[in-house]
Amino acid sequence: MMQTGLPVNGFPPLAGLPLFDWRPPAIPSRPSPRASRALEIARATGLPLGVVIVHMQAAGLGLEG
């Protein structure tokens, strides 16, 4: 006769399994300077963000970020 909720082989159910926390981090991640600058340029010019990033990379700008 099996009872639920009792330890199996001496271990409680889910023992040792990682628990996932889906809440956002307390400190939001900060975008890189390159990403911030690319967003500014994209908003100012109306170009798609991907186009701005490709042109920045081709020009060698913002590679430190």
DSSP-derived 3-state class of residue 27: coil
Average pLDDT over residues 51-56: 90
pLDDT, residue 31, reads 75
- pLDDT of residue 22 exceeding 70, the answer is no
Task: Please say whether the beta carbons of 3 and 33 come within 8 A.
Answer: no
Position 23 pLDDT exceeds 70: no
CA distance 52 to 42: 6
Do 38 and 53 contact (CB within 8 A), yes or no?
yes
